[in-house]
Structure 1
């Protein structure tokens, strides 16, 4: 080194030695991906170092705290948190200072922990050597299956809706429609939330005819944040107002009102234009006539109703006075009654005198006032 002073020569030699040492050093880290709620391991290993290791420190820049800050230091005296940062019981030092291993563990990871973690080795005399470790947090979706309460009709509506809320990355939704393939279709939308998660909503659309009622479909949700796909079964229900209202005789003096409806109809009995008689009892859908007296005479109405509509049917009761203690005429067409009266005059006279009527124990529909009616004494 002609023309170089001894001091400069020594400095240059030391610099070259440090430079070659630095070039041989390497801090090994990596990328970390974990599902929310799980445990993240941050690997950090210094290799090729012969210098003195003074300390290992950690910095983090996360969703919760976007500013880079020191939060953990490993000294010869042991690991410690810096100014209480990160001291929530979730971080654990799993490395070894002597082995130049600064690895950390983070428990119960949340989306707010996502960000960049920096592992820093401080050596003498070369100084600081570091690596950045990105933490990616996966968030499984919250799945919800909702009945859209389709009402029986002939226009396309939403039958059922499947939601995968708050997923990272976005979840995918598909449908298994079985026997309804080609008769229903999917409509799917996705919305990006403020916290970078995505909510995916998929509806199954179809014309709500009787053919769809009771059919099984399945919503299938998949996501990288889930260990396996989730299948949510659903049986399609069609909703409709009372369609047919029938009054059935269950025993002598006892009648039940039944209606086809979904949801099931609420049944109420009332008396048209007259106060309710003491000898008649109404219990939900059942009307019971306890004593066959003329005060029961009149028109009774059974009303079936739900939130989609109502329908009613009527029953006319007539108890004759005198010796007849249980005489009934229940809705019948006028012309049938006239013909029947002529054809069965003798039998009717006998029944009137005896005051007896034979009752069937079977549940048989009784005639109603769907057509013009006339009271008849038997």
Structure 2
């Protein structure tokens, strides 16, 4: 019956029931929801009844582009539930009592599930009630990054390409300190591409060039990590270990320090433009002398390295000293000890020289003093001797006997 033909008392009773019976969810007649593809989607529908009212049947519909409706699933309070057509096995009621809680679940949502849905509730005795839900299905972006191997000296060109597809269309950006430019292009189907271009230099090799993918379905941008690859020709330098070479030196080496990318794997050594001297072996980037150094090991040594970009070579003029220096050098501690010992020995020698000079000076002063005293004593003795001689002479002149005798003695001496 229509409302016009219903008894007045019945219409009044229905109005009273409508006051107490209503949808718990969704509260509004029209609701919009978003869901992610390949995730579970829940379409809410819960009609709450009061005493004297009963939900007889629940039916979910999806509106088609031509305006018609496609029946998805139905639940009857006595006959159970039924799934229809292509939805069979893809949808189910959330509750085991769908006439009480009529929410619909889509366990694995597909892009084709996007659209408008209707939850139709049939009650007794109050008739039918509906809720309309518009579902938008987002596709999380599928992204990729295609790096390009560059070579030093090339012109300005693309270094990496980042691509993404999703709903809504993702946004792309770059995280790098490299001096370059990028350009974004959007195509049909919800895909976008970003091209990062620069002028390749060897100092850029290994630098960060990450792509960031932005999408409303992601809590934070997705990072695709990438490092720029710039190849460049090798370079080489030779160093001698140790730096001073002399005849008899042991465990001497020439080291070829190699640059370039990719790093060269093979190193070629030459000597005076030809074969290496005997007793010498190549170990990686080293030229090792397995014997003591000879004078004729002098000469020009060459190191040649190659990679797939170019060739690098260098030369080193080695001069061997003619005389053996024995063990030269030493650790800083040994040198300091030698300096301390030498300084101590020098100080000791200076002290000894000073002591000898002081002693020598003392003895010379003393000898001079003794000479003076001896001279004075000698002069004093000579004076005493003369005085005694004068006295004896005077005494003889007064005694006649002594005089004759003296004369006789004097005469004898003359003879």
TM-score (norm 2): 0.54
Deviations 1:138-165 (A, max 9, x none): 12224445543332226212234433x2
Structure number, greater radius of gyration? 2
Deviations 1:165-209 (A, max 9, x none): 22211111234555x6xx42221122334xxxx332223222224
- Matches of residues 114-125 of structure 1 in structure 2 within 5 Å? 114-122=114-122
C-alpha displacement of 1:135: 2.4
SS at match of 1:262: coil
SS at match of 1:256: strand
Change (3 A) 1:53 1:95: same
Change (3 A) 1:287 1:360: farther
Counterpart pick for 1:247 among 213, 229, 238:
238
Contact 2:176 2:208 in 1 (8 A): yes
Match of 1:87? 89
| Count of paired positions | 303
- Matches of residues 295-334 of structure 1 in structure 2 within 5 Å? 302-313=303-314, 330=318
Change (3 A) 1:215 1:358: farther
| Structure 1 position 152 matched with structure 2 position 126 | no
Match of 1:30? 31
Contact 2:76 2:99 in 1 (8 A): no
Match of 2:173? 174
Deviations 1:217-238 (A, max 9, x none): 6644322221233456666554
Change (3 A) 1:11 1:121: closer
- Matches of residues 1-378 of structure 1 in structure 2 within 5 Å? 13=5, 28=29, 30-45=31-46, 53-60=55-62, 70-77=71-78, 78-82=80-84, 85-87=87-89, 91-94=92-95, 97-99=98-100, 101-122=101-122, 133-153=133-153, 155-163=155-163, 165-175=164-174, 183-193=179-189, 198-209=190-201, 219-230=211-222, 236=228, 238-242=230-234, 244-250=235-241, 252-269=251-268, 279-291=279-291, 302-313=303-314, 330=318, 351=322, 356=324
SS at match of 1:30: strand
C-alpha displacement of 1:11: 11
Structure 1: runs of 5+ lacking an equivalent: 1-8, 316-328, 333-346, 362-378
Structure 2: runs of 5+ lacking an equivalent: 243-250, 330-415
TM-score (norm 1): 0.59
Name the one with the larger helix percent: 2
Match of 2:337? none
Deviations 1:238-258 (A, max 9, x none): 43121x212222354423322
Contact 2:202 2:232 in 1 (8 A): no
